[in-house]
Structure 1
Amino acid sequence: MGLSKFFLNTGEALRPVLTKIIPMKLLSKMKAGIINNATDKLSADSIEKYEAGRYKCGANIIGNIKGDNGLGQSARIMCRLLDENKEPHVIRDFFVPPGGSRSNDTYDDRFTEELPFDVNIIHVNASEFMVAYLSLGKEVWDYRYNIGYWAWELETFPEEWLPAFKLVDEVWTPSDFVTNTLKKYTDKPVITVPHCVAPQTDTVKFDRKHFNLPEDKFLFLVMYNSGSVMERKNPLAAIKAFKEAFCKDEQMKEKYKDVGLVIKISEAELSAEDEKIIGSVIEDCDNIYYMCGHMGRCEVNTLLADVDVYVSLHRSEGFGLVMAESMYVGTPVIATDWSGNTEFMNSDTACMVGYDMIELDKDYEPFKKGNVWADAHVDEAADYMRRLYEDKDFYERIAGNGQKYAREHLAYKRSADIVSERLKKIHGEN
């Protein structure tokens, strides 16, 4: 297993260099070959089954705790869930390189290499699970009850990821949408442990002036991480809806000159092509504001509070944390009415946009040609944009209902109790 581990880690660390001389598809194929070879050998190098009493009862959280992406946020949410009910646990920071920006220091003072407990909760995507196994070592898995916390955005699961089920005793997911998909591929337990939100903001420190945004405009915001695949996040549909609502001609531009659209991309270095595409479609509008680069968590949360509306015309979401956070801070959301976000959003709490299910016409890694996802109705989104701008009563109702729902139903105690009950069952306590 050592040689495979060396090649994987070295390859990931050198990815920015390698991609300049070797096509990404070939690199992915080479990596998949190493992973598949290791998976084929797994039966001979089998994981020792869970042995109650060998380790102390509790949980080892393993994941990209410092990560500024959704995966890192997911891992930190789990830390807080275990804190909520005072479940014994430790935190081990681990990521598969390159891992994106890693500036979050919330749990830095609690990091440890020691894993004293009998349950592993591993926040590593299914696609990288074998990499984690090779990197961390078999001894981390042996005699423990191994839980993979996985998100996924489609109703079909990639065949090449199925071997990851060999490495877990059960799977936890952030939504029933993901749970129902994974249950089609395994007889092992798949449990929904919904994400929770309680975003901290600082509107004094991070006001619109801080973000170089106009203070006198009604602002819509589109935000995504390039690593999350632009075609899935679908910012172009939101830009098109904004143009249809407010910028179709010079007369309309004049009428709605106090309306603007903010586009925020994080991890933009992962896809220079994204910037080119977006730049080409916004150059004819002087009321579209482009933001790029890393922000701290509180800064991002406050941006959500500083704008007037958040827009997500996504094609699929495993959960939709940014939408939930926007609702929590009182910012109305316009969103596609499909996938994981529909479990905390409805027509009373957000502006839900209809869609058509469409087939992917080519691979958008890791999403494969032939799968299906939602394509939001742009005209409907444009209507919601105008209504939120023009109808104050409607705006206040959506904002208030969304905030109330998020604060009541996405509170940490609810999911903390799910985790505690599941751990008790694993430990044979109920």
Structure 2
Amino acid sequence: MRPVVWVGPVFEPTGYADEVRGMVAALEADRVPVSLRSSTSDARGFRETLSADHLAALTRCVERPVPGPFIQVQHATIDSFAPSHEESVYSVGRSMFETDGLPGHWVAGANALDELWVTGDFNAQTFRDAGVRVPMHVIPGGIDSQLFHPDGAPYAVPGVRGTVFLSVFEWRLRKGWDVLLRAWAEAFSPDDDVTLVIRAYPIGNVDGRRNADILNERIDHFLAEACGRRRSDVARIVLIGERVPARDLPALYRMADGFVLPTRGEGWGRPFMESMACGVPVIATNWSAHLAFLNADNGYLIDVDGLVPADATEVSVYAGQRWADPSASHLSALFRRVHADRAEARALGARARQDMVTEWPWSRVGAAIGARLKDIGRTVDAMSAPAGRATATEASTAGVIVEGGSGNTRRRHSNASEWLFALQQRGNVPYAWRTDEQGVRPSWSSPAIEAWRHLRRTLPAVAVHVTILDETALVTRPCTPSQGTWVIDTGSVVTDRVPPCLVTSLRDRADIVVVPHDMARAAVLAIGVDPARIVVLPAAVDASQFTPTGAKYGRPATAATRFLVIGGDRPHRALARVVSTYDRAFTASDDVLLHLVLPSRREGDLSAWSARLMSDVSAGRRHPNLPALWVDSSPIAYDEMPSLYRSSDVLLHVGTATGRGRTLREAMACGVPVIATDDDLSRQIVGTDAGWRVPPFADTSAAAGAWHSTLINAMQMATDVSERGKRARAAHARSQTFITVGASRRAMAEALTHWGTLTPRALRADTPSATTSRFALQSPRSLVILAHADWHNGTSPAIARAFAGACSTDDDVTLAICLDPAQGVSAEDATDRLRAAMQLAGGSDAQWPDMLLIEDPLDSDTLHRLRASADIVVAVRDPAAAAAARAAGCAVIDSLLPSAWHAAIAHQYPRELSSRLSA
């Protein structure tokens, strides 16, 4: 079995910590060694409450080293799970929840695991309904019936008398303390021979010295306000405010005739199990996880008056969830029943004790965990087999390389992921993924695991090379692949214009250019790309995930209108101006909220402005008259996006460009209207009825003023609930016409099949026809060298410098350099760059060789004519241009070395040129 590292709370008096201690001890007893790592600080003085033997065993586990790659078990609430350790070969989460659902932002955390261990069928169902898709296994809790048993002295509690009821809990509404006090006040009078003993502590005040004072005040206040009684008007209530040592808990339960907790929901219910093991009958709510071991045959079940919205005042993650509404009147009746029939209660307690001994020992839990760990080991061995070994069919088939995209497989909306999923859907074709941005391994059950296993896979032959452009393409051009049809997916890099440094790659080198919409298609057409080589691939929507119904994200909506802004603080998003306009549109008295979801600082995507805004908001430094604003810097996973949209009323997506339009489509599919930039794409997606449009932001005073006015008007209109609802319905209706992920991937798979049959430009004869006329050069010399290269990566000036190193003004040679206006370089700027390059080459102006700058716009026909006019073509690191030049009958210089230039020129112009050239 592989080593096991167990991470969770250890030395604190919580249910999670108690489970950690019990499960680790059970595994150790079953000879499964565990390296235990505490995820929290010790509670003050808690170690001293453990027995010496128990503490020593836990300490050995904490100090045990980890021998190599391991199975990692994280045992806590899902929102506290950390990314899998780099040496973890399998990631397990152990968690639970107490409502009928799961917070939306917990779902993605669960789905990032390899599997999840839940306490029982209750959480298995609620988690699955909430959207958890990773495998779940039921691993119940257990009880040490040798520690918790009926025999022994009871805990001494001064002031108790008669029938004693015990309740142990943290003072939260979920625990039903209000139901407990109300039922107690109704059940008995001060003359009844009964006592209610409460061991409780305020939230987060486990070690506080004033627990009893704080809670006695709360009890007195509740009895007076909610029940109309003074403390002296009800039966005796005794409060234990100090901590009861863990070793004394069995004695605490033994002092009671009944244990009661009218909880509104439990993830397991550890105190119930401990009471039952001590032979003490339990009164518990008839709902949630504890019903796995508690039933009408071994306890008293409180009727439930249905499910009601959970209160999120104390715990924000309960927002949008439901829990039980236990009946106070039925609890009163059960109190009286136990008091009146102590013999029945003792018999029920004895039955409960027997069930704990036979059905719920820690040894059985340990055996279940051990068996699961062995299965995990077998799974890891099978899944870790390298994907690089091609099948017989694949070995004879040229494959596909997908280059680029994010290595963070939680971002499943990236274009790279979509191409990889399309390849998986296509099947029987070898493929590999190349990316420089690394990320965590996805869960073994995730569809993304196959893509991750194909990282850096070696292919015997390449039919198609797909390059995914990201923002680095705005300043550097992608490298031309050496094999296969070259497909460039422009993503959101190309919107209404082509970045200058991409012109030559898209127009002259790529075999296929994929764009996200018609506006981008027009932009690449404008630089001279052949229409036959352009493919429009719109952003697709996963209709199974992006729906109006389902979990909501994070904190509850605290305003009547909640605006959502997603994304990094980049210039085209105009976030600072959006916030400024929001502050002008509303005041603190307006029932609105702006929720900004920005990347975390770890992603390095925060400007100074957004960092300052986050700091001001967290420190409460915004002016009190300004409207409410949240800044959320938690990383948002793909699985969380639907819940994030659903938590909002309006999406704000304004600035200078719409991008691919994916965010608009996903929000609308969730029934959220949008305020979007008014461009061709948003008109197509949003139309006139699914939201509001504002003009693209411009820096001129008049345009900026109009933009602010239009955005203010749109935001204020969006606060009208009726109008917003009408547009939300229209948004969802329009979303039904969007291309789905399934249809998009099928189209991508078919396209890859077709592209694999094409002859790449680097190999085919991309030549002019026999009647192609020559380009009319201005006074060229006898030998013409043509250079058409990238001005944005320094290639053109480097070619000029190499030319000056090989020739002088005496040589009968002209270097014709294409300016290529589509690259966005002016003639003046180009001349300055060439002059600087020549100066680096040395020599005076009089010694510089003849150069000619061609300022004409370039298209395919013009390039053919230029090659027909040239003797030599310079094609440095550009096999496609070299192949086209040779097909046109031109010699090729493919290096910047002087020897290459001398050889090419001498071969084309053998007569003596000059002493320098002939040398």
Q: TM-score range by the shorter chain?
A: 0.7 to 0.9
Residue 114 of structure 1: how far off its partner (Å): 2.8
CA contact (8 A) 2:139 2:369 kept: yes
CA–CA distance in 1 between the matches of 2:176 and 2:88?
Answer: 43
Aligned pair 1:419/2:369, yes or no? yes
Q: Which amino acid aligns with 2:195?
A: G
Aligned pair 1:157/2:98, yes or no? no
Residue 112 of structure 1: how far off its partner (Å): 1.9
Return the match for 1:224 from 157, 161, 169: 169
Structure 1 runs of 4+ aligned residues shifted over 6 Å read: 98-101, 202-206
CA–CA distance in 1 between the matches of 2:59 and 2:162?
Answer: 39
TM-score (ref. length: structure 1):
0.75
Q: Deviations over 1:224-251 (max 9, x none)?
A: 024xxx110011211221221112xxxx
CA contact (8 A) 1:92 1:113 kept: no
CA contact (8 A) 1:182 1:190 kept: no
How is 1:19-418 mapped onto 2 (pairs within 5 angstroms)? Answer: 57-95=2-40, 102-103=46-47, 105=50, 106=55, 107-112=58-63, 114-116=65-67, 118-130=70-82, 133=83, 140-165=85-110, 167-184=112-129, 185-198=131-144, 200=147, 207-209=154-156, 211-214=157-160, 216-226=161-171, 230-247=172-189, 253-254=190-191, 256=192, 258-266=193-201, 270=205, 276-281=217-222, 283-284=231-232, 285=234, 287-356=236-305, 357-360=307-310, 362-418=312-368
CA contact (8 A) 2:155 2:254 kept: no
Residue 168 of structure 1: how far off its partner (Å): 1.9
Residue 370 of structure 1: how far off its partner (Å): 3.5
CA–CA distance in 2 between the matches of 1:295 and 1:409?
Answer: 27
Q: Which moved more, 1:259-268 or 1:188-197?
A: 259-268
Residue 406 of structure 1: how far off its partner (Å): 1.7
Query: What SS is found at the alignment partner of 1:115?
Result: coil
CA contact (8 A) 1:267 1:293 kept: no
Residue 275 of structure 1: how far off its partner (Å): 5.5
Residue 127 of structure 1: how far off its partner (Å): 1.7
Change (3 A) 1:88 1:155: same
CA contact (8 A) 1:201 1:299 kept: no
Q: Which amino acid aligns with 2:261?
A: S
Query: What SS is found at the alignment partner of 2:325?
Result: strand
Change (3 A) 1:108 1:295: farther
CA–CA distance in 2 between the matches of 1:270 and 1:346?
Answer: 33
Q: Which runs of 5+ in 2 are unaligned?
A: 224-230, 383-919
Change (3 A) 1:350 1:418: same
Residue 213 of structure 1: how far off its partner (Å): 4.2
CA–CA distance in 1 between the matches of 2:137 and 2:356?
Answer: 21
CA–CA distance in 1 between the matches of 2:195 and 2:106?
Answer: 42
Query: What SS is found at the alignment partner of 1:144?
Result: strand
TM-score (ref. length: structure 2):
0.37
Q: Deviations over 1:343-377 (max 9, x none)?
A: 10111100011112112355441443332110111
Q: Which amino acid aligns with 2:61?
A: R
CA–CA distance in 1 between the matches of 2:220 and 2:197?
Answer: 13
CA–CA distance in 1 between the matches of 2:99 and 2:249?
Answer: 27
Change (3 A) 1:362 1:189: closer
Residue 150 of structure 1: how far off its partner (Å): 0.6
CA contact (8 A) 2:309 2:323 kept: yes
CA–CA distance in 2 between the matches of 1:312 and 1:141?
Answer: 43
Q: Which moved more, 1:356-365 or 1:304-313?
A: 356-365
Q: Which amino acid aligns with 1:425?
A: D
Q: Which amino acid aligns with 1:195?
A: G
Matching residue of 1:38: none
CA contact (8 A) 2:167 2:260 kept: yes
Change (3 A) 1:407 1:202: closer
Change (3 A) 1:110 1:142: closer
Q: Which amino acid aligns with 1:380?
A: H
Q: Which amino acid aligns with 1:232?
A: R
CA–CA distance in 2 between the matches of 1:353 and 1:175?
Answer: 20
Q: Which amino acid aligns with 1:144?
A: V
Change (3 A) 1:317 1:109: same
Residue 392 of structure 1: how far off its partner (Å): 3.0
Q: Which runs of 5+ in 1 are unaligned?
A: 1-55, 248-252
CA contact (8 A) 1:101 1:267 kept: no
Query: What SS is found at the alignment partner of 1:428?
Result: helix
Percentage of matched positions with identical amino acids: 21
Q: Which amino acid aligns with 2:368?
A: I
Q: Deviations over 1:219-278 (max 9, x none)?
A: 10111024xxx110011211221221112xxxxx32x1x211011114665397766422
CA contact (8 A) 1:324 1:406 kept: yes
Query: What SS is found at the alignment partner of 2:25?
Result: helix
Larger radius of gyration: 2
Q: Which moved more, 1:332-341 or 1:235-244?
A: 235-244
Q: Which amino acid aligns with 2:139?
A: V
How many residues were matched structurally?
Answer: 355
CA–CA distance in 1 between the matches of 2:151 and 2:362?
Answer: 26
CA–CA distance in 2 between the matches of 1:336 and 1:298?
Answer: 27
Q: Which amino acid aligns with 1:242?
A: W
Matching residue of 2:625: none
CA contact (8 A) 2:70 2:87 kept: no
